[in-house]
A = this chain, B = another copy of it.
């Protein structure tokens, strides 16, 4: 690897790439923390990509028709930060580079989408970025079909390393992309043969080009430090109708003493070695400095897309006002005005008809009225369409033959599905929802966490939510999953009791702008409990009084979802015994916790004994409502699960685990002494 030769061959390119390398070295050394090697390895690719191909305008970071660049190898955050600084993004002055990894900096250790417009998605956990990218590319296809090439026509570029490619979710992503023929998706594989523990070989010998070809990708192999090869490969990738993978042979920490070693992956802080690297690059720039002419070249690159962006804005202004408004509406993630009335009308009808149905079926009924008025939804399922009830009549299947389709068969890929939904939501213009069995949120967990962290309103339609699913048994029966979702910050976990609550849940999910929702739905039928129509969205209060006590209020039953009906049964029995019993439906603990104390006291006054009922573990947040909120230890009980489930018909399981009206009654009586 002769650096002098590289410099000579393409001197201007070399200097531009050197700027990424030196800023990276300076920033990581300055923070005494971070990952130097990856940006140093991929600087040439980044320089060609941004310099010649990426459609973007540093002055308009949120231009809806920009190409998307995703750094899946998120630890290499200094790569994107350097690029944003060099090309002149206002949000990235040199002070931010100097503040890398410090409190309050936008230049966080791993790139965070909510801190910087120039960061398309939060990465760090490996495999996520490449999987989000599939969603970005799907969104572009869908929006191009909807709004036309003049308004949506761009590429999605990803940089991924060996780590991302070893993560199983990447297989889900590449198989989905291959099947969907996402021809405008381009992945650069940072093929440096190095991971933290040593060479890639100690853990992996996968033939990546063959693997990608097996998944239906177009594959090229190039020298990742040769700008001509990089340029030609990108051209070819753009032309391909298949998603493209460009395997870039690179040297991690190029030019540094730690080049091609595991050490090079991490923080290179030695001052002498840093100086030697800069000398090897042929630059004499001080810390955080870049030669003025090099900076100027980069800023020109940052302005390369200005003309195209301006032309786009002109085209946009030529659209009808209606079209502009619709485009802006969906990109802003705003629900249509009609939604509120549609939900209200639906609720009213349900309160009249009072059907008994599984809430997964309720969900489908809601989607049947929602999808026609919200053309921005894209739904799907991880091969459980008939079980999750996520497909409605008019949607059409989204694939290479029908980009106007709005239903995605994700296959048995819960994690890839969630990550793709993240990508679609981040892209803008799409409101995604998709389903699997609630127990299999386990597979999607890393992506679900990121939905919350990234503050995006993805909707998870999670059915078969408890022992109520019956004979499939403990591997399928969630018991701790409500606890998991509720413990995750910035997540609304909503478990509706009937069809009316399901409609209200959907309204909350569809109007959310910064919070993902997990809708937790039954397999089995439940009766309509909200028989008295109310325009107000009661689920949005998190919990409310469903049935008041008759006579002196001695007991409060708090229940969620399918257990609310059981609580109502118990209430009847208790009232027949002269025990005044209030039933509180608590579909969303997070929303209830956000209400002011006065409301919470109204719903859960001190005094009456309390029994919580939910076919899940108590750790799902119950202590707060039973012991706290002026509950008292001696005067409360929880009726629910304490262990994994079992394989048997649902009714027998509810009996076996004591989640019955009889048991609730017995608990109340015991507490009353």
Q: Which residues of A contact B (CB under 8 A)?
A: 31, 33-34, 74, 101-105, 108-110, 112, 122-127, 162-164, 166-172, 175-176, 178-179, 195-198, 202-208, 210-211, 213-216, 381, 383-387, 397, 399, 409-413, 415-416, 439-440, 442-443, 445-446, 449-450, 452-453, 470-476, 479-480, 483-484, 486-490, 617, 619-621, 623-624, 627-631, 633, 642-644, 646-649, 652-653, 656
CB distance from A193 to the nearest CB of B (A): 13
Q: Give the docked Cα–Cα distance between A206 and B243 (Å).
A: 13
**Contact for A383 among B176, B196, B206, B384, CB less than 8 A:** B196
**Residue pair B480, A487 in contact (C-beta under 8 Å):** yes
Instruction: Please tell me which one of the listed residues B124, B170, B410, B439 contacts residue A473 in the complex, with CB atoms under 8 A apart.
Output: B124
Q: Is the CB of B197 within 8 A of A205?
A: no
Which of chain B's residues have a CB closer than 8 A to the CB of A105?
Answer: 647-648
Establish whether residues B202 and A409, one from each chain, have CB atoms under 8 Å apart when the complex forms. Answer: yes
Nearest B residue to A453 via CB reads B644
A659 to chain B, nearest CB (A): 15
B124 near A472 with CB under 8 A, answer: yes
Q: Is the CB of B204 within 8 A of A179?
A: yes
Q: Do B643 and A633 touch (CB < 8 A)?
A: no
A116 to chain B, nearest CB (A): 12
Interface contact B475-A411, CB-CB below 8 Å: no
Q: Do A644 and B490 touch (CB < 8 A)?
A: yes
| Given A103-B656, A415-B168, A644-B489: A178 touches B206 (CB 8 Å cut-off) | yes
Contact yes or no, B411 A204, CB < 8 A: yes
Other-chain contact of A171, B171, B216, B479 (Cβ < 8 Å): B171
A664 to B628, CA, bound (A): 20
Contact A411 B203 (CB under 8 A): yes
Partner of A411 from the list B33, B166, B621 (CB cut-off 8 Å) is B166
Report the minimum CB–CB distance from A612 to chain B (whole Å): 12
Q: Can you list the 10 inter-chain pairs with the closest CB atoms, starting with the nearest?
A: A168-B168, A623-B623, A203-B411, A124-B475, A108-B647, A483-B487, A171-B171, A210-B214, A103-B648, A627-B627
Closest residue of chain B to A624 (Cβ to Cβ) is B623
- Distance between Cα atoms of A546 and B472 in the complex (Å): 46
A72 to chain B, nearest CB (A): 12
Q: Is B487 touching A643 in the complex (CB atoms < 8 A)?
A: no
Contacts of A204 in B (CB 8 A): 175-176, 179, 411
- Copies of this chain: 2
CB-defined contacts of A381 to chain B, threshold 8 Å: 197
Cβ of B628 and Cβ of A623 under 8 Å apart? yes
A-B contact pairs, 18 of them (CB 8 A): A104-B648, A109-B472, A124-B473, A127-B412, A166-B411, A167-B443, A176-B203, A176-B204, A179-B204, A197-B386, A204-B411, A208-B214, A442-B446, A489-B644, A619-B621, A623-B628, A624-B627, A627-B628
| Alpha-carbon gap, A484 to B169, bound state (A) | 21
Which residue of chain B is the closest to A633 with respect to CB atoms?
A: B628
Q: Which residue, of A31, A105, A484, has the highest number of chain B Cβ atoms within 10 A? A: A484
Chain B residues within 8 Å of A439, by CB: 125
Give, as a whole number of angstroms, the nearest-CB distance from A548 to chain B: 24
- Within the complex, the shortest CB–CB distance from A409 to chain B, in Å, comes to 4
* Given contact pairs A476-B110, A480-B487, A443 touches B445 in the complex (Cβ within 8 A): yes
A210, closest chain B residue (CB): B214
How long is the Cα–Cα vector from A74 to B647 in the complex, in angstroms? 13
* Nearest opposing residue in chain B for A399, CB measure: B202
A44 CA / B514 CA spacing, docked (Å): 53
CA gap between A210 and B215 in the complex, in Å: 9
Nearest B residue to A215 by beta-carbon distance? B206
Enumerate chain B residues within 8 angstroms of A488, measured Cβ to Cβ: 480
Closest to A203 in B: B411
Q: List B contacts of A126 (CB < 8 A).
A: 412
Q: When chains A and B are docked, how far (Å) is the Cα of A411 from the Cα of B656?
A: 43
**Distance of A109 Cα from B470 Cα, bound (Å):** 9
CA distance A241 to B628 in the complex (A): 62
Task: Give the contacting residue for A648; candidates B101, B122, B386, B410; CB below 8 A.
Answer: B101
Which residues of chain B have C-beta atoms less than 8 A from A108's C-beta?
473-474, 646-647
Whose C-beta in chain B lies nearest to the C-beta of A618? B624
Q: Which residues of B contact A443 (CB under 8 A)?
A: 125, 167, 445-446
A34 touches B471 (CB 8 A): yes
Interchain CA distance A383-B353 in the complex, whole Å: 58
CB distance from A185 to the nearest CB of B (A): 16
Q: Is B648 a contact partner of A475 (Cβ separation < 8 A)?
A: no
* 7 new A-B contacts at CB < 8 Å, known A103-B646, A108-B647: A125-B440, A166-B383, A195-B383, A211-B214, A452-B644, A483-B619, A627-B628
Distance (whole angstroms) from the CB of A486 to the closest CB of chain B:
6
Q: Closest B-chain residue to A387, C-beta based?
A: B196
Within the complex, the shortest CB–CB distance from A321 to chain B, in Å, comes to: 39
Give the contacting residue for A167; candidates B31, B104, B125, B413; CB below 8 A.
Answer: B413
Query: In whole Å, how far is A483's beta carbon from the nearest beta carbon of chain B?
Result: 4
Bound state CA distance, A630 and B634, in angstroms? 8
Q: How far is the CA of A510 from the CA of B565 in the complex (A)?
A: 45
Chain B residue with the shortest CB-CB distance to A620: B487
Q: Are A197 and B383 interface neighbours, CB within 8 A?
A: yes
A520 CA / B480 CA spacing, docked (Å): 19
